[in-house]
Structure 1
């Protein structure tokens, strides 16, 4: 077998997809299922595309859409605000994009016209997280007015992003502001906005509390793959949290001091590390490094093991509490966070295994 590797349990992932998409449909909410965390691997995109209540397939990278099956029935949605330099590829590749810059929308319109196409957009509103979106109400109205004059752009809705940058947790009051923007825009311009996109997996905790009924789309990534809501990081009891397993092989296994000997300078990443003297310990080196994953975002499933450091290609663990249970050539399994899952699927050095 090839190591390091990340193993995907497709049965558990399909359960997560079915359970949550069904729950959201019952609330009148359409799902935009996000494929970026696993780099839109075709084996997993196909699983998402075959899920009955997934209405849209979404990704942040235009390049990832090349991995999509050609016969998917869902509309394709670009999540990251488009680059001006990618407008032509954008119009050729996806049906819908999130936008906040009028200049970019105008460029999309021109390109769509040359391609004899119509491109749908969701206009993003910033409600305090301070990532993408228009912040001032006057600019929102000015932008909508200008968009409605563009013959090859279809404004299908407005949306908000929360939690990703400013870590602002969505609540009823914040999402009600989005509802009020929608109502004002529709009344002012005598139009109908079909989509009110109320954020991502961090909005899920509101389903069992209070969410404005007008919210009819969520962009779901982390909840499907890790089985958690992301406002507070709590597991969703009916979902699997162990869909993905990272596994790496022990390439050195011996007793050594816990404190390096000599003058401490910078490590391979320009940092000056600090160490705690724990005496002699059983140290194991795994064939996995920072080029593959951030070691602070993975946890050994064997709770007796502790990650004590890493370089580009080596991960060092303290095996002292479990030294009789491992030997050279054995493997160690890790649980992943959303960030580390993104890392290992981006790394070409980590094998991907689908079971």
Structure 2
């Protein structure tokens, strides 16, 4: 009798990714492949990239470092707010990170300037899940803070749904997230490249018929 194991069919991962990429592209939405559940497995990450994922994302620095050691050079995003002790390694290994705290943003700025790079910032917005994120009323203030920090570029906003709480990522929530993106641009100037509407819980909405608004990315894995 063999020991318990998980077998992953990389061909199916690639084809599933390609199918989702094709359907989402019709709505103007890109797919970022999340490798957290497979501990940053390079082979699976490669299958998602081969299927059309525009980049990779993870919530664990060790997984991201594993991907880099395997030679993957695609854009990688840290999709949780960094710890202070991780800042230097995140700037080294990730093009982008999700953030909520000015103190951490200041540390990322220092690390990016020291390394001579621009680090992309996506601000995580609290949309009712009560897990993490900036309150909408504070979003413009923190966005303005980011745009004033050397070494940082404000690239977008994102939200979590159906993670800690049971808030459904419905059309109303997506419309609100789109409005917040417009508010930031009106106050701060730079166009937001990414408005990430959430993760797999968003697929029913994303593959539906309603208007996508500003939502142009999902994080799937």
TM-score interval (norm. to shorter): over 0.9
Aligned partners of 2:14 and 2:38: how far apart in 1?
15
Q: Match for residue 107 of structure 2?
A: 107
Post-superposition CA distance 1:153-183 (Å, at most 9, x none): 0000111111111121111111111111111
Aligned partners of 1:136 and 1:66: how far apart in 2?
32
Query: Displaced runs of 4+ in structure 1, greater than 4 A?
Result: none
Post-superposition CA distance 1:257-311 (Å, at most 9, x none): xxxxxxxxxxxxxxxxxxxxxxxxxxxxxxxxxxxxxxxxxxxxxxxxxxxxxxx
Shift of 1:212: 2.4
CA contact (8 A) 2:14 2:50 kept: no
Length-normalised TM-score, structure 1: 0.59
1:184-263 residue pairs with structure 2 within 5 A? 184-206=183-205, 207-221=207-221
Q: Match for residue 121 of structure 2?
A: 121
Closer, same or farther in 2 for the Cα pair 1:26/1:212, shift >3 Å? closer
Q: Match for residue 11 of structure 1?
A: 11
Q: Match for residue 284 of structure 1?
A: none
Q: Match for residue 146 of structure 1?
A: 145
CA contact (8 A) 1:54 1:74 kept: no
What SS does the corresponding residue of 2:184 show, helix, strand or coil?
A: helix
Whether 2:23 is the aligned partner of 1:23: answer yes
CA contact (8 A) 2:181 2:214 kept: no
Shift of 1:71: 4.6
Closer, same or farther in 2 for the Cα pair 1:213/1:142, shift >3 Å? closer
Aligned partners of 1:47 and 1:62: how far apart in 2?
21
Q: Match for residue 63 of structure 1?
A: 62
The structure with the largest strand share of the pair is: 1
Aligned partners of 1:131 and 1:43: how far apart in 2?
31
Length-normalised TM-score, structure 2: 0.93
Shift of 1:2: 4.0
Q: Pairwise CA RMSD of aligned residues?
A: 1.5
Q: Match for residue 314 of structure 1?
A: none
Shift of 1:15: 1.8
What SS does the corresponding residue of 1:205 show, helix, strand or coil?
A: helix
Q: Choose 1 or 2 for highest CA Rg.
A: 1
Q: Match for residue 39 of structure 2?
A: 39
CA contact (8 A) 2:178 2:214 kept: yes
Aligned partners of 2:73 and 2:57: how far apart in 1?
13
CA contact (8 A) 1:49 1:73 kept: no
Q: Which runs of 5+ in 2 are unaligned?
A: none
What SS does the corresponding residue of 2:98 show, helix, strand or coil?
A: strand
Aligned partners of 1:108 and 1:166: how far apart in 2?
29
Q: Match for residue 167 of structure 1?
A: 166
Post-superposition CA distance 1:66-122 (Å, at most 9, x none): 222555353101112100111011111111011111111111001111111110010
Aligned partners of 1:136 and 1:170: how far apart in 2?
16
CA contact (8 A) 1:186 1:192 kept: yes
Q: Which runs of 5+ in 1 are unaligned?
A: 222-355
1:132-143 residue pairs with structure 2 within 5 A? 132-137=132-137, 139-143=138-142
CA contact (8 A) 2:130 2:164 kept: yes
